[in-house]
Structure 1
Amino acid sequence: MKPSEIVRALETLLAIRQPAFLWGAPGVGKSQVVAQVAAAHGLELLDVRAVLLDPVDLRGLPRIGEDGASVWCTPSFLPRQGRGILFLDELNAAPPLVQAACYQLILDRRLGEYELPDGWTVFAAGNRESDRAVTHRMPSALANRMVHLDFDPDLDDWLAWAANHGIEPRLQAFLRFRPTLLHAFDPKRAEKAFPSPRSWEFVSRILTARPDRRTLLVLLRGAVGEGAAAECIAFLNAFDELPHPDAVLADPSGIAIPEDPAVVYAMCESVARTASSDSMPSLATLAARLPVEFGVLLMRNAARQEPGIVHTDAFAGWACANSDVLV
């Protein structure tokens, strides 16, 4: 399931307080999606890393009560009131005894004498066993207590998120050009760094620091691996060497069209960000000169940037001229 589908599923389960477990490869954004659901509904998010717990950490410590009987002092991190999501991250990486301690909390909403408040729902997440991450096989008794959702990264969902979270626009353009690099994780290879939605967010932050070119290459290799880093830097270099969008729009019928598809793609991304009703005639002229697939790309991205351009005469004329490829 792609992230937007996961969100809808979690919102449905949230309404009935049904526990769920998100399965996904490292770095795909499982915890971010849970945080997104909590924020959208104004809920507190309590993120508990199960892998860091011992069984006694959940049950708490005993003390002698006034009547001489032992009473369990439940841990302070468990909620006592309000509404929220109790998120047990990396649950299947926790030792079996810790997972066993979660049985009653997940199904019965209790843990010894502790009771989870009515306004709280339990969600959990972890890596798949096939990812060769640190995991323990989840006991069937625990697995049967939750709805299981498989998390798959999706470029359109990631781009929608990136546009609202300050991700470097050139990096968004690169991943539109090379969508398979959004998440390229091979558990059979012993790579320390690999492309993932999480590591591309690292790259965006690195780019905002504006390191020199040599340092940038080293850092990107350390974030997304050597191959992805080399492709990304080549694209960024092509993007930076393009004529300014204003120069392109000033002479759309005469500007030289690059031969390298990656550079043409970068040009389309760069110019599309200037989209407006005033620039639409120049955009349509440039789109008509590009190979048809790049013309469609330019106009699609321009319409995404400024939806109102679809009502202009220039856009209507371009659409009519390319109606055979727009059907």
Structure 2
Amino acid sequence: MNFKETLQSVELILAARDVPLLVGDTGIGKTALASDVAKKNDWSLLVIDGNLLKEGEIGGLPTITTYTRLNAAGKSVKETTTTYAIHHTLRAIDEEIANQRTVLLFIDEINRCEHAVQQELMNLILNKEINGYHLHPDVRIIAAMNPSDSYDYETVNMDLAQQNRFVWLYMEPDYAQWLDWAETAGIEPEVREFIATFPDYLNQHHEDDIHATPRSYERISKAYKIYKEKNKPFPNPYFLMSSAVM
């Protein structure tokens, strides 16, 4: 599906209170789509990057606290219990909810994290709970991942039961829609003209080399804009390489 079709599908899935899973190459616009959904609905967008998490980080590190209870003899005795500190993003969710905001939680790279981290994220995504912390009902979730077989880096596959809990949406680049978006987003005319002339370059993969993605052309546009404003010569290879960088 292209960006527009995926966006419409995500809105329907969220309205049904299910969890969409966006599958698409890096730089194709998964994060931008989540941002658009949040803006359209006036929701607060918070992001968790699974690739950056370590085991126990999202679930919270265990801490020991002391409490007092009455024993069988009616005497006060002290006991200890284990509680878990929550991740800073979960705290940010609670703060937004306290301010009467609906939260869109975007969880990216769910297949590029350690297996233990993935299990923690699955509890949060599918069960809305982790180590005693419960997500508020006003939290919507979008998950995202890159195709498991598209890159050389290691990925962690979900089991069939977990896969069945998501609504899978496969995103593909659409140069015509990208050009419409690029005009409203202020992408430099020369960059738009290049893609209009060579649409295959919008999302071009090279084995054993860097490759271009829609996000690449946002960066080259920013650099080219500065180049024109500075009116200062730069080596031409800079722009050629920049357009190919992920």
- TM-score category by the smaller chain? 0.7 to 0.9
- Tell me how far apart the structure 2 counterparts of residues 100 and 214 of structure 1 sit (CA, whole Å): 51
Q: By how many angstroms is 1:96 displaced?
A: 0.8
Runs of 4+ in 1 over 6 A off after TM superposition: 211-214
Q: Aligned letter for 1:108? A: N
1:77 aligns with 2:95: no
Deviation track 1:175-227 (CA, whole Å, cap 9, x = no partner) reads 112111111114xx1112x221100111111110126797352222322349x
Q: Aligned letter for 2:55? A: P
1:66 corresponding residue in structure 2: 67
- How many residue pairs are counted as aligned between the two chains? 223
Conservation of the 8 A alpha-carbon contact between 1:65 and 1:71: no
Q: Aligned letter for 2:239? A: L
The structure with higher relative contact order (CA 8 Å, sep 6+) is 2
Q: Which has the higher helix share?
A: 1
1:274 corresponding residue in structure 2: none
Deviation track 1:230-285 (CA, whole Å, cap 9, x = no partner) reads xxxxxxxxxxxxxxxxxxxxxxxxxxxxxxxxxxxxxxxxxxxxxxxxxxxxxxxx
1:82-161 superposed matches below 5 A: 82-140=101-159, 141-161=161-181
1:9 aligns with 2:27: no
Cα pair distance change 1:225/1:60, threshold 3 Å: closer
Partner SS, residue 227 of structure 2: coil
- Tell me how far apart the structure 2 counterparts of residues 167 and 76 of structure 1 sit (CA, whole Å): 34
Q: Which has the higher strand share?
A: 2
Conservation of the 8 A alpha-carbon contact between 1:51 and 1:94: yes
After alignment, is 200-209 or 63-72 more displaced?
Answer: 63-72
2:71 corresponding residue in structure 1: none
- Tell me how far apart the structure 2 counterparts of residues 43 and 145 of structure 1 sit (CA, whole Å): 24
Partner SS, residue 123 of structure 1: strand
Q: By how many angstroms is 1:30 displaced?
A: 1.2
Q: Aligned letter for 2:222? A: R
Conservation of the 8 A alpha-carbon contact between 1:106 and 1:145: no
- Tell me how far apart the structure 2 counterparts of residues 213 and 132 of structure 1 sit (CA, whole Å): 38
- Tell me how far apart the structure 2 counterparts of residues 157 and 190 of structure 1 sit (CA, whole Å): 29
Structure 2 unmatched ranges of 5 or more: 69-79
Q: Aligned letter for 1:132? A: Y
Conservation of the 8 A alpha-carbon contact between 1:105 and 1:111: yes
Cα pair distance change 1:195/1:87, threshold 3 Å: same
Corresponding residue to 1:207 among 201, 204, 224: 224
- Tell me how far apart the structure 2 counterparts of residues 216 and 185 of structure 1 sit (CA, whole Å): 25
TM-score by length of 2: 0.84
Structure 1 unmatched ranges of 5 or more: 227-327
Partner SS, residue 57 of structure 2: helix
